[in-house]
Amino acid sequence: MANEKKFIDPHDPSLNIPGTEDWKEMYPYHALLSTDDPNRQQYESDMFWCYDALHRPEPIAPFDLLWEDARQLSLGMMSRYMAVPFVGGLDYRIINGYCFIGSISIDDPELLQKRAAIFEERAGHYFTHWQELYDENWHKKMNGLVDELRQIHFPDLPEVEDMSIVKEGRGLSSAHPILEGYHKMLSLAYRQWDYHFEFMNLGYGGIMQYMETMKKLFPDISDKSISQTTMGFDAAIFRPPMELQKLAMAAVEQGIADAILSSVTWDEVPPKMQQMDAGRKWLEKFEAAREPWFEMSGGTGLYHTDGCWNDNLNLPLAHLKNYIEAFKRGETITKPQEDVIKERDRVTAEYRSLINNEEDRQVFDQALGVARLVSPFAEDHNFYCENLFQCNFYRKMKELGAFMSKYGPLEDKGDIFYLNTFEISNVLFDAVAKWYSHNTPMAKTYWPSKIKRRKELLEQFKAWNPPPAAGAMPPLPLDPLFPTLHGINEEKLKSWLEAEEIEPQDVTELKAIAGSPGIVEGPARVCRTALDITTLKPGDILVAPTTSPTWAPAFKTIGGVAIDQGGLFAHAAIVCREYKLPAVMGTTNGTRVIKTGDRVRVDGDNGVVTILERSA
């Protein structure tokens, strides 16, 4: 497994940040690099660890690590469930609050052959029954999880139980469901991520197989051209911006748009609308759209700080105002679905016409059919998992935080996210046990200072620039998720190995992956949060570590996109192709070398971002 060429060793002392030596205390032991086991240390030094800037661009609060544990379980589950060849599962380590992931390879030829046969049979069953298993069964399972989640509550506890529970002979106090509720939430979270990955490897596997087929038929074809033949699909993640577009057009057409444009916050909108018949009807449409389409996270859905549209209506309001202004200028604000499909079919027909024999045409048609079948999953599942479920999950966690701030050691409901999942279990027991016994939780004097320190550490970590990788070069072939989703290929790995410490002001060009065709120039705007996105102006070039589906409404405002990490089938690349926006993916250092106000060129045909002029 070891390779002669290596990145920085994950145990290298140079990675330590002075004054933060106590940071490891906030994460469970399995998330940390080993300090006392030589065999484990050797394993970690020989593993390829990739900084997961695509999903985890910021330091991770202790509770938010839940999703790394869930992802580790779920990818391992797929290795046992589907016998995915090459990959045994996922491992991860936290370094200075940032997540580094590693793929566990299976390289025994005999075992690989056995697993490949099992996988082919099981994947074939899923592809053959896709509509039944995904379109019907999967959506039913996901909506069922959300329903279960919404039924969990953490109410106030009575001084003395009501007489009714005595008459019912219940034999349980009101506190018992509190303990059950938290563990039920964890169970639902793990189940959600199992469902998340049930189709993930199949989806990307189908796309990878299609790409391999195309490169055999057309050795000189670019990845960009291949991706153009699979675009033009519908997915649930496009529905929230579509609802905002309909609301924006209705507001303009009914002459009530100024009431929205003149409002700084959402609280100002309803009183103005209530004064007009058209406004009252518009508000009804707005409320109808909120469930479920405004259950949209403000970020990747993996941080408690991401927020949710339904909990902060100022987020969709900002997008709504942009849509209204664009519509009033006479611009088309809807997704150009027909144009995208027309271009897709044109490119597909051109390549198909170049195939000279019927056998190859059948291979092409079959591979394309599978790719188009599975392509919507990459965006469709995002709404149900990272948005609908996550918004409801974090809302429930805040309810539990409020409970623990009243009966336990927390000073504020948001402090719950600075405890890890295992600590919460202990602290919750302490709170409930002391309520039973009319006593004060022991943690009242233990946790406030620790939580304060953890907040300080996470703020310090934000100033650190994590290396793109640590450990050894990965074995080949790469786990398919690395090139398709993360945009990491052999060329990228080599560039990381050879890279020297850069001075941002010295860089004028970034070469990466052509994510969506077209060339555009404009002023750069570096965005890291949903609030940053609201500052985008028409023609701006969005420069970001990664993107969130909730940012999709901004894609009708901007001119192009440059993303630090991500591949041809990462969210930003897919959405840019659907909106016909030039995009360059996997710049690695884009957000470091480009500053807001710099004039840049995004070349989505060749995968190059050029800084044309520095801002003053």
Sign of torsion over alpha carbons 190, 192, 198, 200 = negative
Q: Residue 457 carries which side chain, given as an amino acid letter?
A: L
**Collapsing DSSP states into helix, strand and coil, what is residue 469?**
strand
* pLDDT value, residue 51: 95
The two three-digit tokens of residue 231, written as one number: 């675009």
* pLDDT value, residue 156: 94
Contacts of residue 403, Cβ cutoff 8 Å, sequence gap at least 6: 154, 156, 178, 431
Rounded to whole angstroms, how far apart are CA atoms 158 and 162? Answer: 8
Rounded to whole angstroms, how far apart are CA atoms 476 and 454? Answer: 39
**Collapsing DSSP states into helix, strand and coil, what is residue 376?**
coil
331 and 345 Cβ atoms separated by less than 8 Å: no
Give the predicted TM-score (pTM) of the model: 0.92
* pLDDT value, residue 500: 61
Rounded alpha-carbon distances, angstroms, from residue 292 to 72, 269, 315, 521, 590: 28, 21, 16, 37, 34
Nearest to 235, CA basis, from 372, 345, 78, 125: 372
Residue 459 is inside which H or E element, if any? helix 447-461
232 and 521 Cβ atoms separated by less than 8 Å: no
| Three-point CA angle 218, 223, 227, nearest 5° | 105
* pLDDT value, residue 4: 66
Contacts of residue 161, Cβ cutoff 8 Å, sequence gap at least 6: 173, 174
Instruction: Indicate the Cα dihedral angle 197, 200, 201, 202, nearest 10°.
Output: 120
Query: What stretches in the chain show pLDDT beneath 50?
Result: 1-3
* pLDDT value, residue 379: 83
* pLDDT value, residue 549: 66
Q: Chain-centre distance of CA 496, in angstroms? A: 24
